[in-house]
Structure 1
Amino acid sequence: MATGGGAHWNPQSQRWEWADQPPSPPPTGGGGGGGRGGGPDPVRNGKVLLGVALGAAVVGGCAMAGWLLLGDEEPKAPAAAPSASGTPDPSTGTEPNPEPTAASASASPSAAGAYTVVRDDAGFSVAIPTGWARSYDENGSGSFYRRPGDRSALVQIFRVTEPDGVGACELLRVSSQTLGANPGYREVSVEAVPGSSCELVYEYDSKESQGRRRGIERITVAPDGRRWALLAAGPAADGAAVRANLTAVVESFRPD
């Protein structure tokens, strides 16, 4: 994985910055940066949506591919290639994409520790917690990252292929309804965020996370107008780390 376009952590602005953008001014007094709550994680029932551990769900005729985090079933490795809608396509082969190439690490003083910018063959670069790697034994579509040997937390990224006329918050509300099939599911919030984006925060009971799991899923719009789903999930008791991971993903994500 090559370093995604000169990404580096700016300790003064507490942000990821890139070679093609001017440096951010240092933070002013009292404001704190990154952490707003955390988000829940999708259910592993074979159908998942945009959530943190995802699969694919079809609700009201809208294919919410990859949005729901898979529940706690054993993974069906490797996941089938996604169809145009993002839903796993059983007619395609299941051979995983080659591993992304190595990337350089940049330390950030976040709750989750240092991050490494990686280049993914799905067409983007992003910062993930150092030591995490691409995971192929997943039921959902898109790219998953986890700490090897540990399924308690994850990062998932995939393209949103639903029509642009369906708003980001509307898609996430449908996702939340589908996630409601998870035991103990609770929607924490669905809120619009700057940049025509929206974010869903939720929790549910998870064997993988050994208790409650928190997921945060965000739909974001790339400069070319394409929409992507960025998701982070992990134990609800460590919600600050889930939020820190999602913040690192959002601020470092660069599609090709």
Structure 2
Amino acid sequence: MLVLAFALNRGGGEGDSPTNAGATTGQAPAPTSAAPAPTTAAADPTPTTAAPPTPSATTGGAALPAGWRMYTDRTGFSIAVPEGWATSREGTMVFFRERGGEGRVLGVDQTNEPKPDPVADWTAQERVRRGNYNAYQRVKIAAVDYFDKAADWEWTYTSRNGNRLHVVNRGFITSPNQAYGIYWSTLDSTWEANQENFALVVESFRPARD
């Protein structure tokens, strides 16, 4: 069993995606694995409760709520994302970002050289990276039941503009030579209201076929 090593180089501001927020096997060059503010896009607010399904979009055999679409990456994975969010790619990571200074951020990273223990990997990454987040506070690092093996690293921090943000980064193995990370960030004040959205994201994810 293998799992990815994530590298988080700095805390972002409102809606910023963190530098090297996804799956890496070592210290990635900052310019390529970074997530400087990607281009924003006009986006309708993502529903936080189930809406009438759209027949053409499905996840796990079930229709997606209105306002969502399935995204298929050029590397082969697919995932549900809110319609209208901006898409950008930084190194191995693809980001989807909501309009607005405190917009929500979804990121997906991947590696074909993963590491064996998700919880141990996150714990090691936290020791190195926590100082890059202003007023960092761990919520949890814990194993979760997802694909072959997985763990969530969840934390809060204060953005450059003084707002509290809430993040979860899920690292998981899908095969002996493939692992992914799903990064999800919202305002701390809207975290609970977005739990159904995060659940939809992770439920919809399908890895690339070997």
Residue 189 of structure 2 aligns to which amino acid in structure 1?
A
With a CA cutoff of 8 Å and minimum separation of 6, indicate the structure with the bigger relative contact order: 2
Among 82, 106, 115, the alignment partner of 2:68 is: 115
Contact 2:172 2:181 in 1 (8 A): yes
Counterpart of 1:173 (choices 123, 127, 141) is 123
- 1:160 Cα offset (Å): 3.9
Q: Structure 1: 5+ residue runs without aligned partners? A: 1-61, 92-103
TM-score (norm 1): 0.55
Q: Does 1:238 align with 2:180?
A: no
Closer/same/farther in 2, CA of residues 86 and 126 from structure 1, 3 Å limit? farther
1:71 matched residue in structure 2: 12
> Cα deviations across residues 33-89 of structure 1 (Å, max 9, x unaligned)?
xxxxxxxxxxxxxxxxxxxxxxxxxxxxx9634x467512997xxx9xx98747237
The offset of 1:207, in angstroms, is 3.6
Q: Deviating runs (4+, > 6 A) in structure 1?
A: none
Contact 1:185 1:205 in 2 (8 A): yes
Matched residue pairs, number?
Answer: 171
Whole-Å separation in 1 of the counterparts to 2:150 and 2:74: 24
Q: Which amino acid aligns with 2:191?
A: G
Please report the TM-score for the alignment, with normalisation by the length of structure 2. 0.65
Flag the 1:158–1:207 CA change in 2: closer, same or farther, 3 A.
same
Unaligned runs of 5+ in 2: 33-55, 58-62
Q: Do the aligned residues in 2 keep the contact of 1:185 with 1:204 (CA within 8 Å)?
A: yes
Shift of 1:180: 3.4
For 1:153, which of 68, 89, 104 is the aligned residue?
A: 104
**Which amino acid is the alignment partner of residue 248 of structure 1?**
L
SS of the equivalent of 2:104 reads: strand
TM-aligned CA deviation for residue 236 of structure 1: 0.3
Distance 2:155 2:24 in 1: 26
Aligned residue for 1:87?
28
Please report how far the alpha carbon of residue 211 of structure 1 lies from its aligned counterpart in structure 2 after TM superposition: 1.0
Identity, % of aligned positions? 25
Q: Which residue in the other structure is 1:16 paired with?
A: none
Question: Quick one: structure 1 residues 148 and 86, their matched pair in 2 at CA, closer, same or farther if it must change by over 3 Å?
Answer: farther
Match of 1:169, SS?
helix
Q: Which amino acid aligns with 1:147?
A: E
CA distance in 2, matches of 1:126, 1:116: 8
Equivalence for 1:247:
199
CA 1:244/1:223 → structure 2, altered by over 3 Å: closer, same or farther? farther
Alpha carbons of structure 1 residues 149 and 120: separation in structure 2 relative to 1, 3 Å: farther
The Cα shift of 1:183 comes to 1.1
C-alpha distance in 1 between matches for 2:203 and 2:119: 20
Residue of structure 2 equivalent to 1:130: 83
**Residue 189 of structure 1 pairs with residue 136 of structure 2:** no
Shift in Å at residue 117 of structure 1? 0.9
Q: Structure 1 CA distance, aligned partners of 2:25 and 2:152?
A: 23
